[in-house]
């Protein structure tokens, strides 16, 4: 039995992953944006151990979430599932960062840095990451501008940087496909169940094909990704920017 923490597990793929893991006998701690959504998440996922709440668009709340996770003890896996899609670039959080950047990029970076290292880390990316900008130019200057594709490339870069730096942690990224969730829309063509199977498998399976690191998966199979994501120099540039924007240092091995 494994113990897993899942961000953004009040609905969508995160909630489905939580339900699946609970049904398999694992211990699952949920995360929701606020207490009301937290109560809804617990009601929708009978058997979950607990729910933690934090608005991931806030640097302060994200740092506090990491502390709250650590107070619960060690976890075998963390699934970085939370994300936003339809947010306009000018919309900023309380820290002056674009909300899309804060939630999709900076929050998983902060949580990765501050949560006690689990055995496995899984990051939800997207096939749209191939349209992201590996030059990271949107993260420079006074006006920060990122697209959803950029943020999903960032998540892949983070996953691969962790795999390169932390040899005792299995770190991988997942493309769940374009699935019919609230984010994906009712008309999304991909299979919803298949969209959740890979992250559950990576979090718990003892299959040799699941116990790898630094890979990018779609439907339990390693698949092609933008090559720049695996470039150590690009990763280091990305980590330095995240540290500057968040004030949180990336820890070593």
pLDDT given at position 86: 74
Domain spanning 3-246: CATH superfamily: NAD(P)-binding Rossmann-like Domain (3.40.50.720)
Instruction: Using CA atoms of 24, 30, 36, 42 in order, give the dihedral in degrees to the nearest 10.
Output: 20
Annotated catalytic residue: which of 109, 123, 148, 216? 148
Nearest to 178 by CA among 238, 99, 125, 224: 125
For 170, residues 6+ apart whose C-beta sits below 8 A from its C-beta are 119, 120, 121, 163, 202, 211, 212, 213
Annotated catalytic residue: which of 117, 152, 167, 221? 152
152 is an active site residue: yes
Query: For residues 40 and 91, what is the distance between their CA atoms, to the nearest angstrom?
Result: 27
pLDDT given at position 190: 56
| DSSP category for residue 223 | -
148 is an active site residue: yes
Region 205-233: mean pLDDT is 97
Mean of all residue pLDDT scores within the chain: 93
- At residue 49, does pLDDT exceed 90? yes
pTM of the model: 0.94
What are φ and ψ of residue 67, in 5° steps?
-65, -40
């Amino acid at each position: 039995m494994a113990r897993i923490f899942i961000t953004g597990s009040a609905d969508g793929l995160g909630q489905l992953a939580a339900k699946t893991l609970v049904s398999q006998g694992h211990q699952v701690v949920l995360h929701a944006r606020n207490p009301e959504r937290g109560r809804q998440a617990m009601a929708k996922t009978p058997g979950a151990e607990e729910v933690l709440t934090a608005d991931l668009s806030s640097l302060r709340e994200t740092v506090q979430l990491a502390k709250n996770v650590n107070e619960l003890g060690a976890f075998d896996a963390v699934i970085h599932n939370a994300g936003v899609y339809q947010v306009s670039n000018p919309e900023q959080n309380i820290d002056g960062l674009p909300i899309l950047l804060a939630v999709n990029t900076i929050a998983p970076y902060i949580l990765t840095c501050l949560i006690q290292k689990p055995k496995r880390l899984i990051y939800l990316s997207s096939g749209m990451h191939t349209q992201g900008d590996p030059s990271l130019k949107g993260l420079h200057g006074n006006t920060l501008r990122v697209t959803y594709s950029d943020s999903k490339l960032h998540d892949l870069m983070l996953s691969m940087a962790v795999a390169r730096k932390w040899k005792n942690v299995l770190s991988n990224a997942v493309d769940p496909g374009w699935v019919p969730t609230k984010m994906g829309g009712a008309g999304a063509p991909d299979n919803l169940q298949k969209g959740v199977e890979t992250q559950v498998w990576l979090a718990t399976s003892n299959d040799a094909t699941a116990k790898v690191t630094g890979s990018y998966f779609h439907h339990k199979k390693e698949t092609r990704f933008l090559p720049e994501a695996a470039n150590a120099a690009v990763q280091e540039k990305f980590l330095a920017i995240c540290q500057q924007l968040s004030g949180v240092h990336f820890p070593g091995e």
